[in-house]
A and B are shown apart, each in its own frame.
Chain A
Amino acid sequence: MESCGRSATPPGLEGVALCRRCPVGSNSAIPPGHHSQDLQASLQRPEIKLESLKEDIKEYFKISGWEKKLQNAVYSELSVFPSPSHPAAPPEHLKEPLVYMRKAQGSWEKRILKSLNSMCTELSIPLARKRPVGEQKELLNKWNEMGTDEPDLSLFRPVYAPKDFLEVLINLRNPNYENGDSLSFRTHLGLIQVPLKVKDIPELKEFFVELGLTTGQLGIDDSTQVPPELFENEHVRIGQKVLAEQDSAAAQQYIRQGSPTALRAELWALILNISSQPEDILYYEQLKTNVIQHDLLVDSLIYKDVKLTASNDDYYFVFEDYLYQVLLCFSRDTSVLGHFAYNSASPPKSYIRGKLGLEEYAVFYPPNGVIPFHGFSMYVAPLCFLYHEPSKLYQIFREMYVRFFFRLHSISSHPSGIVSLCLLFETLLQTYLPQLFYHLREIGAQPLRISFKWMVRAFSGYLATDQLLLLWDRILGYNSLEILAVLAAAVFAFRAVNLMEVTSLAAAEAVLADLSTLKVMPLLQIFLFATVT
């Protein structure tokens, strides 16, 4: 259990001290509604005597369940924050250690902000404005059916689409790296030309060992032909036990083999350390009030995105209204700013009108620092199958975002960052399907151009929902997004025969247009464990 961080859990008393050090609110990725106040109140109970304080507290923690909660909270911190680095390293290194990556991210952000500002000026719409009272009332009435609102969105364009971002990544270069002009077998044939370390198949096999052929999986060993006594029944039983124990680390280990549908909502909440406390619900209501009172330009971008993507999706159209309720609140949630401590991106700054450049008049825009792009709402949509209570849905989404999704659209060297995922995908393809890769490259159909959009959206909207949820189970289980790149390569491997016959990018796109019938776990298993390399 080393990898689960159990050994790093401090015993009783230190746990209390750690808890007090965790700041509540602004700088932390942990939302307010912390347990510390409850904890302090509990410590004043009569059973706890001064003479044997340490032992009594430890004992009390065990029986009251606080020990478990503390362990989960610590585990959560360990999962989210990067490991401690060199004491002399400046805070930028926590965001991103490589200078050239930081610079690239900075320029990209400038471009996005410029695009946003120019849209703003063109349409003469302020970035933010206070709603008149009448409008506020109307919005409050319509809160549960904002989908029926039909504002004129024709003049709005998404700030950027994944393919724009891809162009930026393609042009990334490490100025310290010279790979020469001559082609050799080392030459990387793909679009990404930066030298980052990515895992190869032997390393992936080790990393994803629980996906191996001899381990039971949901998504494979629960199919109709397999009697449930062989694997499924026992797996469900263990899952219920894990939930009863309320142990985050155990849940994360368990879910590597997939989650039974009935247990998934609770398991994800346990792994993400989300529990709906009254203060969380209150916080969500506060965000809702912010939405009612102020209108932001990004709101229109969100509307447009939902209308273009989720509303047309066979699975998610039903949940259109939930998407507005989550995303509009998300834009206003300043606690999200905390994640920029370890995100290579930085929140865009805007200045109150007329006070350009004056720091005391600077605000982050949007308040949560995240500018949505085309397809952003698809991060939320699959979660609607699990949570129908808006504040819980909101919390889960926010945590998923600050743990995983942000890496899919910021430039960094992190192994789960989109740059590494792209490189991993291309390397896997080039190493294990060289003929296919070469062929596609020759016909002008660089594979990354097709798979990029899958990875940026974590396959949401491309796979059938039950398959997507099985995939996201593993993202949570391994605390890594690398599986997205492996799946993308596995899809290409699966359709290799057809792809070898195409002669254009458009034809290649057509072969890979419909992934809705794919079963992800068999694909992954075959690619990692059953392909002769």
Chain B
Amino acid sequence: MINWMSVQTIRNVFSVETGYRLSDDQIVNHFPNHYELTRKDLMVKNIKRYRKELEKEGSPLAEKDENGKYLYLDFVPVTYMLPADYNLFVEEFRKSPSSTWIMKPCGKAQGKGIFLINKLSQIKKWSRDSKTSSFVSQSTKEAYVISLYINNPLLIGGRKFDLRLYVLVSTYRPLRCYMYKLGFCRFCTVKYTPSTSELDNMFVHLTNVAIQKHGEDYNHIHGGKWTVNNLRLYLESTRGKEVTSKLFDEIHWIIVQSLKAVAPVMNNDKHCFECYGYDIIIDDKLKPWLIEVNASPSLTSSTANDRILKYNLINDTLNIAVPNGEIPDCKWNKSPPKEVLGNYEILYDEELAQGDGADRELRSRPGQSLGPKGGRSRDSGRTVLTTWK
């Protein structure tokens, strides 16, 4: 039996107090401590920790450039927790006082509670020393993260957009994850401007459909969405094939790295699988940034195309989690046959990568498929690595 649960239910199911145990033929659609990846503050914490570990080991992945920036692992914008890191943040802020930062509540979704700041005074409340601070308590629900705002996003037709990609994880150790080929781009309805007068206009800055659909110009036919294939066609046509392929390779890279970062702390319960919604922004230098990972990506639809996509997504997800439509047995090896993948492609399979002669016959084709193939080796100058740890 497959139990499709909300995050609240998962908390209950796996809570020590309830003493609920899943039987062998039950599987669920979340990992017990998925929040290690899906909460904004914990995700950043885990990635920072992962980077430090690699650095300590002397791994080539953790190589830095002359400015101290990670060459291969700099994919999350500079982020601090508030109020805990307030002073660290202020130091960073003062280094480039004209920059914009984005404040996000750790535990909320759909763009709720997000705002932009460009002056320290706008976040006085979170200062630890502030007498008016009401955040002395450890209540994690009130915590915020503040990240450097990417104010040079890649614009198409003058509009900002972000990428929503679906990634299915069937097990963390060994890591086995799949990328859904039919991701999409979400466009803002209003032209982008970095002008400070429009910092309050969420229609310019936040791409969440939950926000955009209240805009005046929201169109219910296309919903402001493009398929990733459209994006690929556009970029290849206007920027060239190499840089586009490099961009998509980097996107796959950062997704896998983020999963590896949390793999050690994840409760790899054999009853679990999970489909995440990755939000990625591309800047105008064609560098992708990981913004956040969602545990319960919206499965409602805003347009007809959307409905078909989400239906297929759920269908394909379940086919991989429970192939053959049989009663699941959580002891199985979680290695589904190729035919059931549907619109998913193997993003990374740790077992295959560690084995010899990884499967390489699928190729990345423009306009057709997205992801790289299982156990791929990097081919864009990082050929240093032939096996991933």
Contact = CB atoms under 8 A, between A and B. Distances in A.
Interface of A: 144-145, 147-148, 222-224, 228, 260-262, 264-265, 311-315, 317-322, 384-388, 465-466, 469
Interface string B65-86: 0000000000000000000000
B237 A262 contact: yes
Given A224-B363, A385-B237, 16 more contacts: A145-B158, A223-B368, A261-B366, A264-B237, A313-B222, A314-B226, A314-B305, A317-B219, A317-B222, A318-B226, A321-B158, A384-B157, A385-B234, A387-B238, A465-B230, A466-B233
B236 A262 contact: yes
A144 B190 contact: no
State the 10 A-B residue pairs at the shortest beta-carbon distance, nearest first.
Answer: A318-B157, A262-B241, A261-B236, A145-B191, A314-B222, A312-B221, A466-B367, A319-B157, A262-B240, A386-B237
B21 interface: no
A387 B221 CA distance: 25
Interface in B225-272: 225-226, 229-230, 233-234, 236-238, 240-241, 244
Interface string B154-168: 001111000000000
Contact of A265 (B159, B225, B226, B238): B238
A322 B159 CA distance: 12
A265 B222 contact: no
Interface of B: 156-159, 187, 190-191, 217, 219, 221-222, 224-226, 229-230, 233-234, 236-238, 240-241, 244, 305, 362-363, 365-369
A262 B366 CA distance: 10
Contact of A318 (B187, B221, B365): B187
A147 B188 CA distance: 13
Contacts of A465: 230, 233
A490 to B, nearest CB: 21
A145 B158 CA distance: 8
A319 B219 CA distance: 14
Contacts of A322: 157
A322 B191 CA distance: 12
A224 B368 contact: yes
A261 B362 contact: no
Contacts, number: 73
A478 to B, nearest CB: 21
B365 A223 contact: yes
Contacts of A320: 157
13 contacts: A145-B158, A145-B191, A224-B365, A224-B369, A261-B233, A261-B237, A261-B241, A318-B187, A321-B191, A384-B157, A385-B233, A386-B237, A466-B367
Contacts of B237: 261-262, 264-265, 385-386, 469
Given A224-B365, A261-B241, A262-B241, A318 B159 contact: yes
Contacts of A319: 157
Nearest to A320: B157
A320 B222 CA distance: 13
A26 to B, nearest CB: 33
A387 B366 CA distance: 18
Contacts of A321: 157-158, 191
Contacts of B217: 147-148
Contacts of B244: 262
A312 B222 contact: yes
A179 to B, nearest CB: 46
Given A223-B365, A261-B366, A315 B230 contact: yes
Given A312-B221, A313-B222, A314-B222, A144 B236 contact: no
A386 B237 CA distance: 5
Nearest to A319: B157
Contacts of B219: 311-312, 317
A148 B236 contact: no
A401 to B, nearest CB: 20
B92 to A, nearest CB: 33
Nearest to A318: B157
Contacts of A385: 233-234, 237-238
Nearest to B303: A314
B158 A144 contact: yes
Contacts of B236: 261-262
B363 A228 contact: yes
Contacts of A144: 158, 191
B367 A261 contact: yes
Nearest to A262: B241
A386 B238 contact: yes
